[in-house]
Amino acid sequence: MILVTGGAGFIGANFVLGWIAATGEPVVSLDKLTYAGNLGNLASLAGDARHGFVHGDIADRAAVQRLLAEHRPRAIVHFAAESHVDRSIHGPGAFVQTNVVGTFELLEAARGYWMELAAEERERFRFLHVSTDEVYGSLAEDDPAFTEETPYAPNSPYSASKAASDHMVRAYRHTYGLPTLTTNCSNNYGPYQFPEKLIPLVIANALEGKPLPVYGDGRQVRDWLYVGDHCEAIRVVLERGRPGDTYNIGGNSERRNLEVVHAICDALQEARPREGGYRALVQFVKDRPGHDRRYAIDAAKIRRELGWAPRESFASGLAKTVRWYLDHGAWVAQVKSGQYREWLELNYAARSAA
């Protein structure tokens, strides 16, 4: 079996669901269940003997040690993280605690567990750390895409905390020999994404006839990766990746933020027409402090060495995503709690229309 941290979050839950469907191998999910962790994401596995859930914190080393001793996983897949740039600007401490301290405590627990394994089990064990392209900083319009060799240059408290966790993972491989793998992905989208991120936020606001906030001029560029493709790539890296290596995972889908918002508006207009259309709801607002201009992933290494490439285009992945949110209105209503509304007020109310 394997242990997945952050298994009730957006990418973690998609990974757990996809893992069991693809492999049938048992999974234990560990999740602190902060605002973005939602057991409803794993509801389809209720009663499935192949899945177990543990409510816990990766920063609680003793609890993780007990979990490892009880379940004896052959691998740890580490998704658990604070991941929203705007939240990191308002409250960076939580990002340091979870992403830096939490990863350190998890590494220490994993190292102790791994060292006590029998030789054959030690050889097979893997610690896969899931990170982000934001650790590489910002690109100019004509710069080449990020590769695994791009120097780190994080620009937000979020990306700095993830960069720190990446460095810790690298150090545990170099110093202790722990068989680690690191993946750095581009912007994910798809089912179960908490509606603070761009795509689900725009879908939710549009369906309620609310303004669709676009930072600055909306010309920031991101590479978009459908979450199902990302999860498949992680399975491939876990199976065939070389310990100590890093693999960049991208969707080959660079888009400006405003293009993404317009594409969502058009998809919604086709599926659920609105008088005047959804584009009329777009509102330019004050930009995020230190907003990185462009991210782009060069995924040539994982394609060349492990044979992975994304299956979804941006158009096909977005169509699936919009349809999922239209079909799961109850899920959206459930996650949009009072805490969520308070967050929207904190982050957007002070941003006057540009």
Residues 94-100 have a mean pLDDT of 96
Tell me which H or E stretch contains 62. helix 61-71
pLDDT the model gives residue 177: 98
Cβ atoms within 10 Å, residue 333:
10
Domain count for the chain: 1
**C-alpha 104: how far from its chain's center?**
19
The catalytic residue among 31, 86, 105, 134 is: 134
Residues 143-172 have a mean pLDDT of 97
Model confidence at 21: pLDDT above 60: yes
**Alpha-carbon span 204 to 340, nearest angstrom:** 12
Within-domain flag for 77: yes
**Alpha-carbon span 238 to 232, nearest angstrom:** 10
Domain limits for position 56:
2-192+224-252+294-312
- The yes-or-no answer on residue 325 being catalytic is no
More confident residue, 339 or 86: 86
- The yes-or-no answer on residue 116 being catalytic is no
Model confidence at 261: pLDDT above 90: yes
pLDDT the model gives residue 37: 86
Within-domain flag for 155: yes
- The yes-or-no answer on residue 254 being catalytic is no
The catalytic residue among 31, 82, 105, 158 is: 158
The catalytic residue among 31, 57, 86, 133 is: 133
What's the CATH number where 79 sits? 3.40.50.720
Within-domain flag for 241: yes
More confident residue, 348 or 309: 309
Within-domain flag for 354: no
**Alpha-carbon span 22 to 205, nearest angstrom:** 34
Do the Cβ atoms of 186 and 297 come closer than 8 Å? yes
Model confidence at 352: pLDDT above 90: no
**Alpha-carbon span 252 to 85, nearest angstrom:** 22
Tell me the per-residue pLDDT of 188-203, one tens digit each, with 9 for 90 and over. 999 999 888 899 999 9
Tell me the per-residue pLDDT of 316-336, one tens digit each, with 9 for 90 and over. 999 999 999 999 998 988 887
% of the chain exceeding 70 in pLDDT = 95
Residue carrying structure tokens 């604070």? 82
Within-domain flag for 208: no
pLDDT the model gives residue 35: 81
